[in-house]
A and B are shown apart, each in its own frame.
Chain A
């Protein structure tokens, strides 16, 4: 064989030496107290006529399908606030960033928003991965994130305000509806393979055990794939549950409902309740396949209130008569107004002041009246169970009597004690 010359040690030694030299320079800080934000203090400039906020959404990549609509409603909300005089008399100036459907990009861009652009608050995020990626950034830099999407709960960060539903405002009311109104005694769980469906299903299983509902199957389809759909639908059909609880995401729903209809299942024999299908997704799946199926959200375009009529009209005026509004869009719209309310109550843009003042701030949102919970930073929301109608919109068939107080750690539900919870936020 060949012989290898001994590698020249000079460049390697040089590299090592320079590393060592630089390591010796600069004061070395040992373990500081946990949570001390040594480097992050706010640089927000509130002196001028305007105040900057950051908008971070995926405008490219696979998640952009959903997130561009959130961007639109954020921009509409900012326009409205500015037209009404701004926040504390200052106009809102939006700095936009593209998360590119990548959690690492979300982390990077939000760092830039907080450290470079010095924004007073950031609105956006969609997937739980993007939120988890941004969480340390906001905690370390003492920033504020307004997260507008329904998610799996079990989190309550000081630096995030969650304007989407947590599980006790969406999933649990849906289960109550299935049990009480539809008399369901067995459920088949179908979802995409990622955090939200898996956590949701853990909660559903605990609820089912408590209330005597049989879980006949739990199937996951890899994200972005549709190859396993026939297998899953076969299992759903042969297991023969009373209903299907559907946490499939995105385009897997198209495949699923096509196959489900083709094997002869329908909303009368085995209704499907979905938590990821909103007005935006209905045309892609096909109204004929979805008509009569159930959804669980906290807002529908058909909600009958003066605030919603205005919201829908304004949205259509700005983005076209064919545009539809959905729950995440409405939650994003509401979050801007809620932030305005918090800042005005605190009379300051300072993050600590806003956090102090947040509890109790309310807003007459298109979904109804919402109030911020100062402890867990979620908002009280009314649960609405809907059915897809032949026009492609969703009609409310049941609503909770009053806005439900958010309980992201499910502390008020004894049967939820056995569920695995992240100890950082849901301690004890």
Chain B
């Protein structure tokens, strides 16, 4: 029982990390049909923002709370910069955007190496996020609990924004029918920039969260990014609820496999399952309603 609950928690924790990372990606992917391969590097930028914040404000708790909005800003601005300079030219060629953003990720990794050095840097966690909470005899580590809360909170806020605010309505309009939205007077280009800002900003927040459980180094973006792509693709383009379901599905499934198999085998099995799932349902869990012939 103890072991099972521990695995369930591990699965939920992984799911929340994937969700946090995939949330921003889902947004940008849904908006523009653009998979941003530099998303992991925005994550890294957020993590390094947390590091720099901690250099300035020694107190770990204060620096963490400050770093969250700061990272959102930093990563968001990076995203807008990327969108304005490169991605806006490539809307007609989404696959090329994949490659261009891959190039951007290479450059960003190297910049991080040159500025911060190649070895990992330490970002200390505040004392109220170390240790664990005992639940039915199983330790639930507080740092990961914070990430679960952060992920669910981000989902809630994002959904609220999309559902209830004017900006959210504009975003949804552009996703559903760009031409019609423009005809209705929505400045689709400006909406795109804002969407990219929010999506990349979420990556920055995810990066801050990652400093609690992983090392902060120039290549940290690539650690979770392949799985984040799979979450986005399995969840359905632009579908927040799809991303939530897919993240929890992937996280819990991997933890379930890892309960009896080795971690490597669990990973391979998971990839196989996702690939198979995508064969069966290529549009993901939830698809945008379409009048296509398929």
Chains A and B in contact, CB within 8 Å? yes
A193 to B259, CA, bound (A): 17
Q: How large is the interface on B (under 10, 10 to 19, 20 to 34, 35 or more residues)?
A: 35 or more
Tell me which residues from 108 to 165 in chain A have a Cβ below 8 Å from any Cβ of chain B: none
A48 to B220, CA, bound (A): 47
| Segment touching B, from A75-83, A259-267, A345-353 | A259-267
| Complex interface: chain A residues within 8 A of B184 (CB) | none
| Complex interface: chain B residues within 8 A of A284 (CB) | 119-122, 215, 217
Q: Are A234 and B215 in contact (CB under 8 A)?
A: no
Does B118 lie at the interface of the complex (its beta carbon under 8 Å from any beta carbon of A)?
yes
**Chain A contact residues, majority secondary structure:** helix
Q: Closest CB-CB distance, A68 to chain B, in whole Å? A: 7
Q: Are B267 and A227 in contact (CB under 8 A)?
A: yes
| Complex interface: chain A residues within 8 A of B132 (CB) | 262-264
| Complex interface: chain B residues within 8 A of A62 (CB) | 219
| Complex interface: chain B residues within 8 A of A327 (CB) | none
Does A242 lie at the interface of the complex (its beta carbon under 8 Å from any beta carbon of B)?
no
Does A98 lie at the interface of the complex (its beta carbon under 8 Å from any beta carbon of B)?
no
A210 to B9, CA, bound (A): 38
Q: Are A230 and B131 in contact (CB under 8 A)?
A: no
For A220, give its contact among B131, B215, B264 (CB under 8 Å).
Answer: B264
A258 to B124, CA, bound (A): 10
| Complex interface: chain B residues within 8 A of A232 (CB) | 263
Q: B97-131 toward A: CB 8 Å interface, digit per residue (1/0)?
A: 00000000000000001000011111011000011
Tell me which residues from 165 to 204 in chain A have a Cβ below 8 Å from any Cβ of chain B: 193
Q: Are A254 and B120 in contact (CB under 8 A)?
A: yes
Does B61 lie at the interface of the complex (its beta carbon under 8 Å from any beta carbon of A)?
no
Does B144 lie at the interface of the complex (its beta carbon under 8 Å from any beta carbon of A)?
yes
Q: Are A226 and B214 in contact (CB under 8 A)?
A: yes
Q: B246-282 toward A: CB 8 Å interface, digit per residue (1/0)?
A: 0000000011001100111011000000000000000
**Chain B contact residues, majority secondary structure:** helix
Q: Are A259 and B217 in contact (CB under 8 A)?
A: no
A319 to B27, CA, bound (A): 46
A64 to B143, CA, bound (A): 30
A65/B254 contact (C-beta < 8 A), A220-B263, A254-B120 known? no
Q: Closest CB-CB distance, B118 to chain A, in whole Å? A: 4
A234 to B14, CA, bound (A): 14
Q: A197-230 toward B: CB 8 Å interface, digit per residue (1/0)?
A: 0000000000000000000000111101111111
Q: Are A238 and B213 in contact (CB under 8 A)?
A: no
Q: Closest CB-CB distance, A291 to chain B, in whole Å? A: 13
Query: Nearest CB to that of B267 among chain A residues?
Result: A222
Does B154 lie at the interface of the complex (its beta carbon under 8 Å from any beta carbon of A)?
no
Q: Are B120 and A230 in contact (CB under 8 A)?
A: no
| Segment touching A, from B86-94, B171-179, B190-198, B221-229 | B221-229
A262/B141 contact (C-beta < 8 A), A230-B13, A284-B120 known? yes
Q: Are B139 and A237 in contact (CB under 8 A)?
A: yes
For B119, give its contact among A65, A229, A263, A288 (CB under 8 Å).
Answer: A65
| Complex interface: chain B residues within 8 A of A46 (CB) | none
Q: Are B215 and A64 in contact (CB under 8 A)?
A: no
| Complex interface: chain A residues within 8 A of B264 (CB) | 193, 220, 222
A285/B122 contact (C-beta < 8 A), A231-B258, A238-B6 known? yes
Given A225-B223, A284-B217, A286-B122, 19 further pairs, Cβ under 8 A: A68-B118, A224-B223, A227-B223, A228-B266, A229-B213, A230-B13, A231-B263, A234-B7, A234-B10, A254-B120, A255-B213, A258-B125, A259-B213, A262-B141, A262-B143, A263-B139, A264-B139, A283-B119, A284-B122
